Amino acid sequence: MHKPISIRSGVNPGDVLAVGGLCLVAAGISWSNFLVSNGVILMGLSVPLARTHDPGGRLISTVWRKDLSTLLEDPLLQAFWLCFFSMLASGLWSENLKDWVWFSQMQLPFLLAPLVFSGRQIVLTRWLGPALYIFLGAALATSLWVLYDFALHSQEYLHGLLKGKPIVTHISHIRYSMVIALATLLCLHAVVQKIPLPLRHGPTLAAVLGLYFFGFTHLLSAKTGLLTLYGGIFLYGLLVVRKPGARTRMLRIAAVLLVAAVALAMLLPSLQNKFFYTIWQVGEYLRGKWLNYSDIERWVSIRLGLEMIRQEPLLGSGIGDLYTSTAQVYQECLASEFYKLPHNQFVFTWAFTGLFGLGSLMAAIWHSAGSRNWWSLPVLPAVQCVLLGSFMVEYTLGTQIGCTLYVFATLLSWLYVRNN
């Protein structure tokens, strides 16, 4: 078989763009919307270019029909496309097309990434390890910056935590805490399965990094990150202890993490202040207050999101009208000019894209988190636990970083399943 036209002998231009885009996303997901956007664009540019199974001497692919049919045979990739097109279709009954265009652009990973991953499985599988190492390196670098900034402004941050204000990060502190939780799980998996990092003393380095990320998540004190981290570790531990070869190591690690968690709870003022703020909010809620209390505002947003679903249960309000519909229901139910979008991904999707959008999302979850093949590899359900845990208290897919994190983490897991 002839090789397709290349930049230099043996190099496929489309493969270069796909791998480059993947590495940009891995490097930027913890700190840069700019890198993430350009990573997705680069991967998108690789779609029309020739694959390794194209006839020789061509730059543009001639087997796109075969690639498309292959994609549509895979239920997960098909569900991802349905997620995108349900968002796109909701513009038909949206009055504000500007917001519809904006949110549709943020959903492009659902459209482009499946095409790239299905068409270039071989080269992306080879780069799976390096991409994860880039991801861990970027997470480490950004966490050191956060630590430095925290050290310079510790009193302001600790006082702010008592009022519900987060520690400043380059991206949303909740999405960032999810990134750190995923980094912790990857290091945990490397230690349990004895997968050495590509450096000297790799197993020791993985253990140190995992313990560092575990402690750093507690310093951030984002409740979503902490709850999903503990959920992911617990699920991973349950699946691993059934395997005799890794059971002893997992139990020892669990004991170390338990001791570390107790010590962090006693020593970290940021975690203590966040706990006191949460308890204080409960009392305020019982006294009928909700405005300017971050957690209570989330629960109110979910409750009013359910009201929007009651009003438009079939088609939703349309993603272009998400702001106007939300503002209207807040005015009707609470007589308030303040509003928040529903902080639950399932409520968010149903309220704005209707039952078709919700069904597409549930199909994607079923063919990833619910897949029997995925459950044979403990780290993959644990990763999904972090991602889906955020869905309960966030509209994760309604943000650029959140959408890209979910799509790429799921598709990289899909590659891992195919490779194993």
Are 146 and 169 within 8 A, CB to CB?
A: yes
Structure tokens at 193: 């399965």
Residue 10 — very low, low, confident or very high, per pLDDT cuts 50/70/90? low
* Per-residue pLDDT at 35 exceeds 70: yes
Q: Is the pTM of this model over 0.85?
A: yes
User: What is the C-alpha to C-alpha distance for residues 111 and 97, in angstroms, rounded to an integer?
Assistant: 20
pLDDT digits (tens, 9 = 90+) for 225-256: 999 999 999 999 999 998 877 888 899 999 99
Q: What are phi and psi of 121, to 5 degrees?
A: -60, -40
Spell out the residues 6+ positions from residue 232 whose beta carbon is closer than 8 angstroms to its own: 181, 185, 382, 383, 385, 386, 389
Are 350 and 204 within 8 A, CB to CB?
A: no
Mean pLDDT confidence for 352-381 = 94
Are 26 and 139 within 8 A, CB to CB?
A: no
How big is the CA angle at 395 (ends 390 and 398), to the nearest 5 degrees? 125
Per-residue confidence (pLDDT) for residue 1, from 0 to 100: 41
* Per-residue pLDDT at 145 exceeds 80: yes
Are 222 and 173 within 8 A, CB to CB?
A: yes
Structure tokens at 7: 């930049």
Percent of the chain with pLDDT over 90: 77
The tally of CA atoms less than 13 A away on the side-chain side of residue 109 is 24
Would you give the DSSP letter of residue 168? P
Structure tokens at 309: 């679903």
User: What is the C-alpha to C-alpha distance for residues 320 and 317, in angstroms, rounded to an integer?
Assistant: 8
Burial class of 373 by CB neighbour count within 10 A (0 to 12, 13 to 18, 19+): exposed
